[in-house]
Amino acid sequence: MRTQVGIIGAGPAGLLLSHLLHLRGISSVVLERRSREYVERRVRAGVLEQGTVDTLVEAGVGERLLREGLPHSGIELRYGGAGHRIPFEKLVPGRAITVYGQQEVVKDLIAARLAAGGDIRFDVDDVAVHSLEDAPYVTFGGQRLDCDVIAGCDGFHGISRPAVPDGVLTAYEREYPFAWLGILARVAPSAEELIYAQTERGFALHSMRSPEISRFYLQVPAGEDLAAWPDERIWAELKTRLETVPGFTLATGEIFEKGITPLRSFVTEPMQYGRLFLAGDAAHIVPPTGAKGMNLAVADVRVLTDALARFYADGSTEPLDGYSAACLKRVWRAQHFSWWMTTLLHTFDSDDAYARRLQTSYLDYVTSSEAAATTLAENYVGLPYDAPVPAEHAVPFSGGTP
């Protein structure tokens, strides 16, 4: 088999890349080791930046998103017995977020690709990439796929990044001493917007997936056993951390999904080697506090799509050379914002009174200073997409005119 772009992974990054390339007349094959049912039900992020919404709508896959997504024009920071709203409509006019589950984005993209005759192969095994420097190809299930370029969109634990020779990539990583216990519950949200709660007992987040489904997170110790958290304990702890302002009562309901996710910051540089280009979680991970994971993947894919379109239009490799640098500029901004939100809202050491006072001081500043609140708001809703990176920051692309 032969295609122009071989894509490893059928998450949001791989599927969106395939669809955007299709719109530019560029062929691709998407390989996914999991089943279609699994990837369409896998619960992940649910907050879409303004730029992500715009990208999906412009790509023709935003009809259900616009109909069922929940636009939000602010968030609440809750601490010290009071709630403080960060009003996006005032601080960053015309920009907002939309709550719409990642699995719903995946469903929309799969439907669009299949309707257009796209080649998505689920349940493939023994996937490996070869000859990344000049004539790349992918093997899977006893078959071979030749291509001009390989896009590694297969997540943090995928096969793409480890295929790069030792010593080429530099990893920057930080692990946090806590995790998030997340649940989905059949209960209407108790607030119209997301609530980020900072307490001495730890962080809590009130979110939602629809008018009937709520999403909650609790800070728990790293390595916590999920069996130690029966439903009754989860609701009791959520109430303790969220019912801290007068008049607020947390509605409860049936918990139908729960899990524990460790928090990690990770970046690999560069995000490319030869004819392999990494996108999304294959290249970077952020703690979910800043809601940046899937949004960064969309930004990567936009850059890669434009670069590949230029490559196939006139043979220019300059945009591909600059892919990593262009993406990393945004990645590091999101890394800092996610780290900042995490350190601002989580309890690191219950005995460190000095650190707790610093947290409170900065929360007071963010909620009383329009300049500080604007910084939070513009990062949260998503910064504009960047211009191309100068050539001096480029990574040479192996190969010439296609």
Mean per-residue pLDDT for 184-213?
96
**Cβ-count burial of 256 within 10 angstroms (0-12 exposed, 13-18 middle, 19+ buried)?**
exposed
Partner residues linked to 143 by β-bridges: 140
pLDDT over 80 (residue 393) = no
Among candidate residues 176, 196, 217, 323, the one labeled active-site is 196
pLDDT at position 44 is 76
Segment 364-392 shows an average pLDDT of: 86
> For residue 274, what pLDDT band results from cuts at 50, 70 and 90?
very high
At residue 348, φ and ψ (nearest 5 deg) are -90, -40
Instruction: Indicate left, alpha or beta for 12 from its phi (over 0: left) and psi (-120 to 50: alpha).
Output: alpha
pLDDT at 275 > cutoff 70? yes
**What are the tens digits of pLDDT across the range 116-165?**
999 999 999 999 999 999 999 999 999 999 999 999 999 999 999 999 99
Say which of 19, 107, 284, 292 is annotated catalytic.
Answer: 292
Q: Running DSSP on this structure, what letter comes out for residue 2?
A: B
Domains for the chain: give ranges and CATH numbers: 5-72+95-173+264-348 (3.50.50.60)
How many residues in the chain?
402
Active-site residue, from 189, 270, 287, 288: 288
Query: Which pLDDT band holds residue 402 (cuts at 50, 70, 90)?
Result: very low
What number is the average pLDDT over the span 296-304? 97
Task: Indicate the average pLDDT of the chain.
Answer: 94
Is 354 assigned a catalytic role?
A: no
Question: Does the reported pTM lie above 0.75?
Answer: yes
Measured CA to CA in angstroms, residue 297 lies from 26, 294, 390 at distances of: 20, 5, 22
| Residue 45: predicted pLDDT | 76
Give the percent of the chain with pLDDT over 70: 96
- Per-residue pLDDT tens over the stretch 241-264: 999 999 999 999 999 999 999 999
The per-residue pLDDT for range 75-102, each reduced to its tens digit, is 999 999 999 999 999 999 999 999 999 9
| DSSP-derived secondary structure for 210-271 | SSS-EEEEEEEETT--GGG--HHHHHHHHHHHH--STT------EEEEEEEEEEEEEEEE-S
pLDDT of residue 387: 53
pLDDT one-digit tens code per residue, 23-45: 999 999 999 999 999 999 887 77
Phi, psi angles (nearest 5°) of residue 127:
-75, 135
Q: What distance lies between CA 365 and its chain's CA centroid?
A: 28
Average of pLDDT values for 374-401?
Answer: 72
Whether 288 is catalytic is yes
More confidently predicted of 352 and 335: 335
Which H or E element spans position 107?
A: helix 102-115
The answer to whether residue 329 is catalytic is no
Instruction: Say whether pLDDT at 388 is over 80.
Output: no
Identify the active-site residue in 12, 19, 72, 284.
72
| Confidence band of 394 (pLDDT split at 50, 70, 90) | low
pLDDT in tens, 216-239: 999 999 999 999 999 999 999 999
pLDDT score recorded for residue 168: 97
pLDDT above 50: residue 106: yes
